[in-house]
Structure 1
């Protein structure tokens, strides 16, 4: 313990420093973390970082998925659900199938079941990597919504493939009838369990006398409960966390107060950042041990690297083929639902861009490390070390090659030039704030207009509330006015919630304004 604890603290410090360095270099921090982990792993005398395969999913996936579900715009997901659904399910299955066929033909001793096991591991692109890379370039909201929605759902579909393939490898058989029934329970049961538990958690937050620290503490353990209970019932813990997270995210204004939302945002941002950083460091730290396992099995390192490059090429090709197939299908059947492109050339280049965004990361690593060394009956899982090594090569190649070239590719080709309409965005923001001001004025006149003549503070509030931030004297803000102000803020929230139903309004603008209202309410409490 005295050896591991300083090492873990040093890992967190290294994550923070590398993130600052990555921001200065304007590259994605997962790239630096992976390289740093690989370099550090060769330092003699350091403790070996090992995580129990049975715990790898449970430690990392629930909070990462839960936070992603809270961050994503559900309105944008509904808007682009056809494209998101096809990439999250059909493309993942096609990718896993392609990997299974290629590895079965080209890797000696690799069965179709092992191929699907590997395909389920490496098929899902990583949201953290994509988000960290694309933050240095400006991309349309529709494209980012598709990538975020896909990454939230493809984890579930890939891990379902992983689960069935692991059973097939262990038993040597695959019974379709049982698989269909099991698949339906995994999907329907996972979603149902997540929604039920999320509803219970929402009621607990609402009915218990919680404060900001207790609210935040509860949100930290809730995704683990969702995942664990769903897995105990042999359903999908991933789908339970995603469904529950989306439900709770939509109800955040109901069961969390402004203090809980503001402080919770900072806590979760730091917590998820550390978790992601540890995972990407582990990718580099584990690689030398995996290489040692390969050598003990007599697999040449050059041959294993070649297999990793081969699988990476299959992944990129399968994603691009799927992207073009989706574009052609959309043009034929649903032309009106495709993302906007300023020209025909850019429309046909869009699948190329989407195909190049398939960086792998956290989920692939967690799935690979979760492969047990032996089954319960004692049989050793064949080619486990090779599967782990290929997964690490895929993660490294996609992060280093695609991750470093994607921003350059977008900037150099000027792919999105002319797509952004900053004037329209500014007009939307102005329209939202103007509508909010008008709503506030009408609310005050309707509810407190008859008190204007009797209360000096009310007269000042009605005439000068727009300039309250500039006021140097807050003596007029007595307890009566605080009650009015809080009612006013809640009315603004309700107005923004209704405004968000307009599909033309960017939900990110709404969330930013809601955050400002929460900050205003917290400022009011200390006056």
Structure 2
């Protein structure tokens, strides 16, 4: 137990150090974490660490999917539901079928094994590409499509994966039965996820205690995920539906204290979960190399190169078809939602990074069939899946900023952000004006003292005066003003601690003042413009 705890501390230290380095050299943390995991796996004396598939599928996936769903706008998700569905369902099935065809005819894999391999490597990851895309300042709709696809495509993959495993292990498969089961799973999980979201919000609203509410929020994704998974579903669609319901209905039911504490809690949870996941994924390289010795090196590399080329080509073909073909066929759609430019489409197709879900699905393959024979090509599937994760994450992850800059896509993102910020400022002013109008009505209806009304009015007018003016799109956004505010807050902190040391205030007073300063400093992030590379 002591040795395992020491390894855990090493992983935490590697996570912190790698994330710090990634920020300094402006590289997506997932890339460096994967490479750091591979490097640590070959350190002399470092024990082999196996990544149990249940840890990913049952322990890690629910909170990751739930937090991303809650952060997503239901309105924007619904507005892009057609393209998200085409990518999350259609592209996964198309890729799996293309991989099965290529591996069957070119390297001789059985159809069922080829389809299983295709189902495993078909879904792009949601974590790494989005982290890169947000940093690059891509257009909002592009981010919504990528995130929506990443949330839903894992469900398609896991359902196809289970169909393929059953077909291989039992030797029986019915296409009509599988299609009916697929539709039934999606419908049932949608209803179940919405029900869990409704129940979770009501329980949290009745609790009225931030600690209890945050604990319930941590349990929610596991309830939404594990129950459908136990009955043969994927659990992912239910978790996504639950998160989207809470995202849309939560603001009026969740208290301010819970929101403030919950944001920091969930940020830390996701930071640790994602970081450790990529580190442990890299750790699997050592065990996979040992297992791959049963196959000729040339066969492994041929399979890796073939499948990598197929999934890249399949994504480009499907993305372009999914975006342009419906508009060619429907004049109404073409008028209502004009086709984006080719640069926009190219970036969507280029972000086909595979992640830990693919590796977890490969690791979860059974070792034997019903007849007690070994599972066909299990180690080959494992090694090819890991190689594809490594190639797409490192290769595409490093090239994506270059491609985005070359295509000039960030210019659209910058213009969108300017417009979004101006709309936000207008809404803030109108909200403050609404509050002042409500104050006037309260003054007429109730017997409020002039002093109270004066203080309340001064508070809202002060907040209104603090709002910045409109942005000039031609002026480069800078963090200088934010840095100055942070410097002033730092001076206040030093003065407060000097007052505490001199005995002029108590520790309780110092904590109350520091809490206000902490909230103000944390709020700077919301007012700070992202620096968008041009």
What TM-score do the two structures reach when normalised by structure 2? 0.82
**1:368 is the counterpart of 2:362:** yes
Is residue 282 of structure 2 the alignment partner of residue 284 of structure 1? Answer: yes
Q: Partner residue of 1:486? A: none
Match status 1:407 vs 2:401: yes
1:253 alignment partner in structure 2: 251
Q: What does 1:23-422 align with in structure 2 at a 5 Å threshold?
A: 23-108=23-108, 110-207=109-206, 209-295=207-293, 297=294, 299-332=295-328, 333=330, 334-336=333-335, 338=337, 341=340, 347-375=341-369, 378-417=372-411, 420-421=414-415
In the TM superposition, what is the alpha-carbon distance from 1:247 to its structure 2 partner?
1.5
Give the CA deviation at 1:330.
3.6
Shifted more, 329-338 versus 240-249: the winner is 329-338
SS of the aligned residue for 1:400 comes to helix
1:247-285 CA-partner distances (Å, limit 9, x unpaired) = 222222244211111111111111112111112112211
Distance 1:3 1:324, change over 3 A: same
- Give the C-alpha shift of residue 65 in structure 1: 0.8
Deviation at 1:236, TM superposition (A): 2.6
Post-superposition offset of 1:32:
0.3
Unaligned runs of 5+ in 2: 467-491, 493-522, 528-534
Is the 2:95–2:314 contact (alpha carbons within 8 Å) kept by the matching residues of 1?
A: yes
| 2:472 paired residue number | none
Counterpart position of 1:523: none
Residue 192 to residue 375, structure 1, CA distance change in 2 (3 Å): farther
Residues 141 and 339 of structure 1: is their aligned pair in 2 closer, same or farther, counting only changes over 3 Å?
A: farther
Query: In the aligned structure 1, how far is the partner of 2:180 from the partner of 2:336?
Result: 33
Deviation (angstroms), 1:419? 6.0
Shift of 1:335: 1.5
Q: Is the 8 A contact 1:64 1:272 kept in 2?
A: yes
Conserved? CA contact 1:330–1:337, under 8 Å: no
Q: Cα 1:467–1:242, aligned 2, differ >3 Å: closer, same or farther?
A: same
Q: Distance in 2 between matches of 1:425 and 1:7?
A: 45
Instruction: Name the structure 2 match of 1:438.
Output: 433
Question: Which whole-Å deviations, capped at 9, do the CAs of 1:224-243 have from their partners, x for residues lacking one?
Answer: 12222112222231112111
* Superposition deviation, residue 423 in structure 1: 4.7
Deviation of 1:452 (Å): 7.4
1 CA distance for matches of 2:126 and 2:303?
A: 25
Greater alpha carbon shift after TM alignment, 284-293 vs 322-331: 322-331
Contact 2:138/2:412 (CA < 8 Å) preserved in 1?
no
Distance 1:211 1:423, change over 3 A: closer
TM normalised by structure 1 equals 0.83
Q: Which residue of 1 aligns with 2:470?
A: none
Taking the aligned partners of 1:406 and 1:468, their CA distance within structure 2 comes to 40
Is 1:453–1:459's contact at 8 Å kept on the other side of the alignment?
no
TM-superposition CA deviations, 1:166-188 (whole Å, max 9, x none): 11111122112332332233212
Q: Unaligned 5+ residue runs, structure 1? A: 342-346, 473-511, 517-527
Aligned counterparts of 2:382 and 2:222: Cα–Cα separation in 1: 26
Alignment of structure 1 residues 434-513 onto 2, 5 Å: 434-451=429-446, 454-467=449-462
Deviations along 1:73-128, one digit per CA (max 9) or x if unpaired, are 111111111111111111111111111111111223x2111112111111111111
Number of aligned residue pairs? 467
Distance 1:453 1:55 in 2: 59
The 1:413–1:250 alpha-carbon spacing in structure 2 relative to 1, beyond 3 Å, is closer
Change (3 A) 1:21 1:340: farther
Equivalent pair of 2:136/2:410 in contact (CA under 8 Å): no
Report SS of the residue matched to 1:3: helix
